[in-house]
Homo-oligomer: A and B are copies of this chain.
């Protein structure tokens, strides 16, 4: 049986799966490892060789390694291109770069988009998730929401990624909680508070925009209408609501078909709640599955 090693190497984690080439079945998984931030000054080839040793045996023939994510950024192993849209799996396969220092290993490119007005947006890792999600859904068109530190909304047409936009939602929540007056009363690691989240979501639906709406957490807190343990969830509601409303303003046809939510476990619930509250239909696709399906499709196009 032919096997492929798939790695999702991002800013905050390294994750690897040994996958059956034909069925896509996961044969083995490594414990999560160091993301790019924790790799500062370390050798990428040495770290990868060490982590992947259980799966790579030169005598028996080593499975190929395909890596996606920020590992292809200038701060990663080796810079990979970010081709302009539209981008399909063949376009990604055409621009992989060898991962220097490790045999039979490649880094996938990202993608970028330019607007007529000078706007530029960038991604590394989500393009392959969108293409993988398309394959899992058996479709060639769709609107995708990929929540995260830098959430992405993407559109596919004819089996290729044709548009996307980044929203700073996750990082914004972190900097407001960690470094602004709004975070001062917030309880660290408070559990998700659905009522406070819904209040933030409702606040985001009123006129004024997120710069105004986030400050409502201050007023509500000072007047006893928001408990310290609800502040983080309230801000999540405001920011996710603002992300949704901003993304929908860019996609007026969003209500005609379900939105594919490609997310990890922790963000899936609040995003599903927010999308449903805005009257949208949602299809959930686990982000890991989407990554693997997308990378496998690139591996096929690449012939490895």
Contacts and interface: CB of A to CB of B under 8 A. Distances in A.
Contacts of A199: 118
A121 B168 contact: no
A142 to B, nearest CB: 19
Contacts of A212: 165-168, 243, 246-247, 250
Interface string A144-188: 000000100000000000000111110110011011111000000
A99 to B, nearest CB: 22
A243 B119 CA distance: 20
Contacts of A225: 118, 120
Contacts of A122: 218-219, 222-223
A181 B171 contact: yes
Interface in A178-207: 178-182, 199, 202-203, 206-207
A1 interface: no
Contact of A208 (B165, B178, B223): B165
A53 interface: no
Contact of A180 (B117, B166, B171, B249): B171
A263 interface: no
B181 A179 contact: no
A240 to B, nearest CB: 10
A141 interface: no
A220 B171 contact: no
A299 B242 CA distance: 43
Contact of A246 (B114, B175, B209, B219): B209
A242 B211 contact: yes
Given A122-B222, A175-B180, A179-B178, A169 B117 contact: no
Interface in A237-259: 239, 242-243, 245-247, 249-250
Contacts of A169: 211
A247 B202 CA distance: 18
Contacts of A215: 121, 150, 166-168
Interface of A: 112, 114-115, 117-122, 150, 165-169, 171-172, 175-176, 178-182, 199, 202-203, 206-212, 214-216, 218-220, 222-223, 225, 239, 242-243, 245-247, 249-250
17 contacts: A117-B203, A120-B219, A120-B222, A120-B225, A121-B215, A122-B218, A122-B223, A165-B208, A168-B182, A168-B211, A175-B176, A207-B249, A208-B246, A208-B249, A210-B242, A212-B243, A212-B250
